[in-house]
Each structure stands twice: as structure tokens, then as C-alpha cells.
């Protein structure tokens, strides 16, 4: 059953709509004031909002982004007495489901309503996580993140060690906290140790604790984090940074659930659930003998691989809305919507720093547009806009380069000489290759010849063909990508 909110100053229309929604098997609510209606939409849990444009206390189109950004992401049907083409276009661009003009018979409004209910039903079905989870702050409904959420559910229901892998900023710490919060240890302690932030000796003393006088400066006995985690969860972040000797000691703790504090002989027991995270490839490091294989096997009883953001671009909008609202709240900035091309601009970037980079980028946009109601691509930081522009220039699809569509067979009257055809297809990737080569070698021709395997004369010829001046790369290192 769907919940529908009607915002219209026409009381009789509201009554008619509530009745209609009820007859279709759903629940209708209404507000004859725009201000109250927006409050209800933002704080309620509506599937559909039917919104009038000209209301005594404001214009419905202006609050459309705010309603669309409500936590329930309702579909909005605009219902207007004074329709204009521009208004319709603006509404659809800002994410309205439909734009209808009054007067409407119950039959005329019934059809779009049925369609939107059907759509919400399928949406609920695809978004349902395999197991009901308290997913604090984890946003996304793409297939890639849903697979990770299923793994999360499995990890929460078990007591096995978990290894969370993924590039920087993909949400490893967020997932570790969510596993704990959904596990039977939720009410016990959750201890975090960041293995990358401290030198080896300090990690050792903070993990194991020490007795008074164990080393210079140890003026009192200190309890280690392993002991603090007793009965709860120990989260070892960046475990790939742990040195070999500590790996060995820690393996023993995992096997025996007992350890000695530094400088002490007494044995301490600690029974904890272990979650680790890393952005390194531990299999590879084990192959290079930098990570113990036996420890790795123990860590990865369960493994959760988090997808990079570029592989779940469908989640960008949901992530951007979620973090934008959080940031605006935190800094007391004016509530904001997105211009129609803002999200597509975000989608065109490859996000090497993943969700963290997205969050930082939104922070920067919001501080630039602190008092403005909409975020535009122009508010994005320059370095990102430059990368986007470069990518759009470099990514010329082969079809466009050759002038042919993607049919398997070229039309007989337009088969060009083979060399022209080949040259057209290869031009862009080849230019990209030589540009990268210059960026990497800082324009050093000998080095570029060594890497590419080309002779000097050949290299100079190609650079000339693509108008790449190697001296520019040497002089201006900021061009290095
Ligand atoms: N699925 C998600 N939904 C909402 N926010 C997310 C999601 N994934 C990551 N974030 C946000 O991205 C930021 C980075 O997340 P987190 O610190 O968990 O990443 P990480 O993988 O541990 O990164 P690193 O490897 O750099 O330590 C945080 O602000 C977090 O809230
Ligand atoms: Mg982290």
C-alpha cells in the first residue's frame, strides 16, 4: 500500500483525491498549505506527492527539489491550473514524475496514479535488502552495493572473522561499524585500531598494553586495546600495514585468545570478534612474503569486497542527496537542491577517491554556494571540472571517429580506404597514449623511447602528428595527471 500526500489549496480537490486514492487501495493525506505540506513531505514517509503550483503561500515548483530530496524520495506529480511549457519542462528536469493540467476528471488522474503506484512497488521490491538491517548511513541500491549488503547481513549473523577490502574511501569503516551494530555484540564495545597511523612500536604497546617500567616513559601500567575489546568487536583498520613481527604475535593472540602485555609475564585472556579492513591486495603481499599467509587465511573467514564508486554510478544521486543534506545541516547552510545537470556532471567523473572524495567535493560545493538554493556543475572544484572536460574530449567513441554506426557491416558505398579507416579509429587512443607517456616521463624523450620501445625519429614524428610538445611537459609539471 502506498501513502499519498496531496498539497493543494482547493479543499474539494483534496477530498476528491483522497477518496480516489482510497478507492485504488492506498492511503491519502492532504494539506491546503504549501508550508505545512512541505513539512509533512520532508518528515513523513510518502511514496507519492501530488503538488499544486500556485498556492497562496508560495510556488510548488520552487519546493519540488526539497520534496524530491525527502528521505522517502517520493515521486511528485505536479497538478496545475495554469500550465506553461516552461513550467512543465522545469518540473520534469527537477525530477517530477508527471505534469498534469487541471481540470482533471478522476479517470484522468487515476491512470497516472496507477502507473506511479506500480513503479513504487517494483522499486520497493528491488531495494529490499536480503535481511532487515539497521544500516546506519549506508546509502545505495545498485546491484553492486546490494551484493555487499547481503555479505554484511551474513557477517552480522555470524561470529567469524571478517576481512573488508576495497579502494580508499569505499566505506570499509562504515561497513565494519554496521556489522558490529547488527551483530549480537551490538551492545558491547567496538574498538578501532588504525594500523597505519602509528609506528610499529606504538601499535604494539597500544594493542597489548604494557606494565609499569616496560620501556622508557612507561610510568604506569596501561591496558591494551585487545583487552578492552574483550566480549566485543576489535576492528583492525589498514591491517595490511602491520609489520611481519607484529603479524606473528597477533596470529598467536588469534589462536590462543591470550597474550602478554609488554614487559610483563602475566597472561591476559581476551575473547573478541575480529573485523579487519585493507585497501591493499593481501594475496599479492602474501606472495611477496610481506604478509603472512597463515594470518591471511584466518582473517578472511568471511570477505566483503566493496565496489569502487565508478562501478556503482547509479548510486551517485542517492549518495549526493544524503551527504548534501547532512553537510547543510551540519554547517547550517541554506537547504539546497541540484540543478538538472549537476548529477550527470558527478556521474561523468571517475572518483578515484570514491565516496570520501564525493563527500569532500560536496562540502566544497556547499561552502561555495552557501546561500544559494541550487548546486550547479560550476560549483564543482576546478580540478574535477578540468578532469571531466579532458575526459569528454578524450573519449571519442570509435563510431563517431569513423562516421559509421555500430552495425556489424559497413554500408558498401561508404567503405573507405583501409588506412583512413584504421587511422580514424586509432587516432584518439594513440593520442591519449602519447600524452600519458609524456606526462609520465615529464617529457624525457630517452625515457619515453625506453618505455614505448620506439626509436627517437619515430617518437618525434608521432608527437608532431598529435601536436604534443614534449618540452611543455618538462617545463610544466602540473600537467602531470
Ligand atoms: N555506501 C555509503 N553510503 C553513504 N556514505 C558512504 C558510503 N560509503 C562510504 N561513505 C562515506 O564515505 C566516507 C569514507 O568512508 P570510510 O571511511 O568508511 O571509507 P574507507 O573505505 O574506510 O576509506 P579508507 O580506505 O580511506 O580508510 C565517509 O564519510 C562515509 O560516510
Ligand atoms: Mg578507513
**Mean pLDDT, all residues of the chain:** 86
Domain that holds residue 414: 410-479
What would you report as the CA-atom Rg of the chain, rounded to the nearest whole angstrom? 29
Across residues 457-479, what is the average pLDDT? 75
pLDDT confidence bin for 202, thresholds 50/70/90: confident
Q: Tens of pLDDT along 255-275?
A: 999 999 988 888 999 999 999
The verdict on 148 and 283 lying in the same domain is yes
Q: Same domain, yes or no, for 430 and 314?
A: no
Please indicate whether residue 384, judged by its CB atom, sits closer than 6 Å to ligand 1.
no
Answer with the residue of higher pLDDT: 234 or 96: 234
CA distance 208 to 234: 13
State the CB neighbour count (10 A cutoff) for residue 478: 5
Which cell numbers hold the place of 450? 625506453
The pLDDT-based confidence of 324 (bands split at 50, 70, 90) is very high
Tell me: the pLDDT tens digits for 145-170?
Answer: 988 998 999 899 899 999 999 999 99
Give the pLDDT score at 408.
55
- Point out which residues pair with 274 in neighbouring strands: 234
212 and 330 fall within a common domain: no
Q: Which of 361, 394, 427 is the last residue of a domain?
A: 394
Measured CA to CA, the distance from residue 315 to residue 79 in angstroms comes to 29
Give yes or no: residues 376 and 319 share one domain.
yes
279 CB within 6 A, ligand 1: yes
Q: What is the pLDDT of residue 99?
A: 83
The yes-or-no verdict on residue 401 having pLDDT over 60 is no
- Is residue 481 scored above 70 in pLDDT? no
Distance, CA of 173 to CA of 237 (rounded, Å): 8
> Hey, what's the torsion of the CAs at 457, 460, 463, 464, to 10 degrees?
-110
Which amino acid residue places its CA nearest to atom 13 of ligand 1?
356
Last residue within a domain, chosen from 261, 283, 305: 305
On the question of pLDDT at 192 being above 90, the answer is yes
Does residue 300 sit in the same domain as residue 322?
A: no
| pLDDT of 240 | 94
Q: What pLDDT does 91 receive? A: 77
Q: Relative to the CA of 164, which ligand 1 atom is closest? A: 21
197 in contact with ligand 1, CB cutoff 6 A: no
pLDDT at 410: 65
Q: Are residues 278 and 153 in the same domain?
A: yes
CB 120, CB 24: distance < 8 Å: no
151 and 270 both lie in a single domain: yes
State the pLDDT at residue 478: 41
**pLDDT given for residue 404 in this prediction:** 54
Residue 127: the pLDDT is 55
Q: Is residue 403 part of a domain?
A: no
Give distance in angstroms: CA of 356 to centre of ligand 1. 6
Could you tell me if the CB of 169 is within 6 A of ligand 1?
A: yes
Residue 290 lies in a domain: yes
Q: Is the CB of 21 under 6 A from ligand 1?
A: no
Starting from the CA of residue 306, give the closest ligand. Answer: 1
- Domains contained in the chain, number: 4
Q: Determine the pLDDT at residue 155.
A: 93
The confidence score (pLDDT) of residue 227 equals 95
Q: Is residue 401 a part of any domain in this protein? A: no
* pLDDT at residue number 132: 53
Q: Whose CA is nearest to atom 10 of ligand 1?
A: 171
Q: Ligand 1 pocket, 87 CB below 6 A?
A: no
Task: Indicate if the pLDDT at residue 477 is higher than 50.
Answer: no
Are 77 and 97 a contacting pair, CB within 8 Å?
yes
* Candidate of 71, 163, 173, 330 to mutate for ligand 1, largest count of ligand atoms within 8 Å of Cβ: 173
Q: Is 214 in the pocket of ligand 1 (CB under 6 A)?
A: no
Q: Which of 280, 354, 356, 357 to mutate to test the pocket of ligand 1 (most atoms within 8 A of CB)?
A: 356
For 426-454, the pLDDT digits (tens) are: 888 888 888 888 887 888 899 898 888 88
- The pLDDT value recorded for residue 469 is 83
Mean pLDDT of all residues in 120-126: 70
Residue 135 within any structural domain of the chain: no
The answer to whether 254 and 298 are in contact (CB under 8 A) is: yes
329 in the same domain as 281:
no
CA 331 to chain centre: 21
Cα 147 vs. chain centroid, distance in angstroms? Answer: 15
For residues 296 and 346, state if they share a domain.
Answer: no
Any idea what the CATH number is for the domain that residue 361 is in? Answer: 1.10.8.60
Are 301 and 157 part of one and the same domain?
yes
CATH classification of the domain holding 58: 3.40.50.2300
In a domain, 193, yes or no: yes
Q: Is residue 404 part of a domain?
A: no
- Is 31 found in the same domain as 154? no
Of 80, 97, 127, which residue sits at a domain end?
127
Is 50 exceeded by the pLDDT of residue 479? Answer: no
- Which residue puts its alpha carbon closest to atom 18 of ligand 1? 171
- The better pLDDT of the pair 284, 396 is held by 284
Distances (CA, A) of 43 to 5, 72, 321, 338, 351: 12, 9, 15, 20, 32
User: What are the tens digits of pLDDT across the range 10-28?
Assistant: 999 999 999 999 999 999 9
Q: What percent of the chain has pLDDT over 70?
A: 88
Residue of the CA atom closest to atom 24 of ligand 1: 168
Task: Encode pLDDT of 330-373 as tens digits.
Answer: 998 888 889 878 998 898 889 999 999 999 999 999 998 888 88
Same domain, 173 and 156: yes
Cα 34 to Cα 30: distance, rounded to the nearest angstrom: 10
Residue 265 belongs to a domain with what CATH number? 3.40.50.300
Cα distances (angstroms) measured from residue 239 to each of 210, 260, 277: 21, 21, 6
Amino acid at each position: 500500500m502506498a501513502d499519498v500526500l496531496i498539497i493543494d489549496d482547493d479543499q474539494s480537490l483534496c477530498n476528491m483525491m483522497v477518496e480516489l486514492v482510497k478507492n485504488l487501495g492506498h492511503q491519502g493525506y492532504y494539506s491546503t498549505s504549501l508550508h505545512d505540506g512541505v513539512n509533512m513531505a520532508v518528515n513523513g514517509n510518502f511514496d507519492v506527492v501530488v503538488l499544486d503550483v500556485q498556492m497562496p503561500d508560495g510556488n510548488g515548483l520552487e519546493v519540488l527539489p526539497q520534496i524530491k530530496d525527502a528521505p522517502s524520495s517520493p515521486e511528485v506529480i505536479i497538478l496545475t491550473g495554469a500550465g506553461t511549457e516552461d513550467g512543465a519542462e522545469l518540473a520534469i528536469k527537477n525530477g517530477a514524475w508527471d505534469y498534469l493540467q487541471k481540470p482533471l476528471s478522476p479517470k484522468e488522474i487515476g491512470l497516472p496514479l496507477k502507473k506511479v503506484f506500480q513503479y513504487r512497488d517494483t522499486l520497493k521490491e528491488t531495494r529490499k535488502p536480503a535481511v532487515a538491517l539497521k544500516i546506519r548511513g549506508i546509502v545505495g541500491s545498485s546491484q553492486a552495493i546490494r551484493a555487499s549488503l547481503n555479505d554484511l547481513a551474513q557477517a552480522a549473523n555470524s561470529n567469524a572473522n571478517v576481512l573488508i577490502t576495497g579502494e580508499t574511501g569505499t566505506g570499509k569503516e562504515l561497513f565494519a561499524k554496521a556489522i558490529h551494530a547488527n551483530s549480537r555484540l551490538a551492545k558491547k564495545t567496538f574498538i578501532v585500531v588504525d594500523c597505519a597511523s602509528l609506528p610499529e612500536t606504538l601499535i604494539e604497546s597500544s594493542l597489548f598494553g604494557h606494565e609499569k617500567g616496560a620501556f622508557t616513559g612507561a610510568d604506569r601500567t596501561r591496558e591494551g586495546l585487545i583487552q578492552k575489546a574483550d566480549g566485543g568487536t576489535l576492528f583492525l583498520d589498514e591491517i595490511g600495514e602491520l609489520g611481519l613481527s607484529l603479524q606473528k604475535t597477533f596470529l598467536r593472540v588469534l589462536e590462543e585468545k591470550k597474550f602478554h602485555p609488554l614487559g610483563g609475564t602475566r597472561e591476559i585472556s581476551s575473547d573478541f570478534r575480529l573485523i579487519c579492513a585493507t585497501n591493499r591486495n593481501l594475496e599479492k603481499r602474501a606472495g611477496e612474503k610481506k604478509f603472512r599467509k597463515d594470518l591471511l587465511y584466518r582473517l578472511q573467514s568471511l570477505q566483503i569486497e566493496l565496489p569502487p564508486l565508478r562501478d556503482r554510478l547509479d548510486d551517485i544521486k542517492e549518495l549526493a542527496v544524503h551527504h548534501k543534506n547532512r553537510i547543510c545541516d551540519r554547517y547550517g547552510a541554506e537547504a539546497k537542491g541540484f540543478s538538472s545537470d549537476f548529477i550527470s556532471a558527478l556521474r561523468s567523473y571517475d572518483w578515484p577517491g570514491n565516496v570520501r572524495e564525493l563527500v569532500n567535493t560536496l562540502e566544497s560545493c556547499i561552502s561555495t554556494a552557501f546561500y544559494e538554493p541550487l548546486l550547479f556543475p560550476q560549483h564543482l572544484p576546478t580540478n574535477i571540472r578540468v578532469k571531466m572536460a579532458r575526459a569528454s574530449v578524450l573519449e571519442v567513441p570509435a563510431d563517431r571517429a569513423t562516421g559509421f554506426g555500430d552495425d556489424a557491416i559497413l554500408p558498401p558505398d561508404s567503405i573507405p580506404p583501409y588506412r583512413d579507416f584504421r587511422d580514424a579509429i586509432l587516432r584518439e587512443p594513440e593520442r591519449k597514449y602519447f600524452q600519458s607517456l609524456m606526462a609520465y616521463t615529464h617529457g624525457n624523450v630517452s625515457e619515453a623511447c625506453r618505455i614505448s620501445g620506439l626509436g627517437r625519429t619515430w617518437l618525434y614524428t608521432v608527437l608532431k602528428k598529435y601536436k604534443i610538445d614534449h618540452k611543455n611537459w618538462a617545463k610544466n609539471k602540473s600537467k602531470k595527471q
